[in-house]
Amino acid sequence: DSGVTQTPKHLITATGQRVTLRCSPRSGDLSVYWYQQSLDQGLQFLIQYYNGEERAKGNILERFSAQQFPDLHSELNLSSLELGDSALYFCASSVNGLPYNEQFFGPGTRLTVL
C-alpha cells in the first residue's frame, strides 16, 4: 500500500459524458501527478500540482482539467469523453515535487468509455 488513494477503482461511462477522478496523496506529500496509461501509448504524464498550484503540464488534452485543493487532494475532470480515453489513470504523490523525489503511485482508476 503506497498510501495514495484513488476513487473510484472502476468507471464505465458513455461517449460524450463527463467524469471526475479523485486522488488523496500520502500524508505529508505536497505534490500530486496525474498519468494516463493505455496499451498503445504507455504511461503518459498529464499534469503536476504542488501545494495547490499547477507546476508542470504534459500531454493533457483541453477536454481534461485538474486541480489540487487546499487539503491537497486532487481531482481530474474528463469531459466530452471519447472511446480513446479508455485507459488506466494513475495519481502519484511526492514530498515536494522535485525530480529526484520518489513518486508513490495509487492503485489507479480504470476508465472504460463505451
Q: Which residues bind another protein (CB under 8 A)?
A: 2, 4, 31, 33, 35, 42-45, 48, 50, 55-58, 90, 92, 94, 97-108
Identify which of residues 12 and 14 has a Cβ nearer to another protein in the complex: 12
Least distance from C-beta 73 to another protein, angstroms?
A: 17
Identify which of residues 37 and 79 has a Cβ nearer to another protein in the complex: 37
Q: Any idea which residue has 461511462 for its cell?
A: 13
List the grid coordinates of 26: 500520502
Backbone angles phi, psi at 83, to 5 degrees: -55, -40
Least distance from C-beta 16 to another protein, angstroms?
A: 28
Least distance from C-beta 75 to another protein, angstroms?
A: 18
Q: How many angstroms separate the CA atoms of 106 and 1, rounded?
A: 8
Q: How many angstroms separate the CA atoms of 42 and 45, rounded?
A: 10
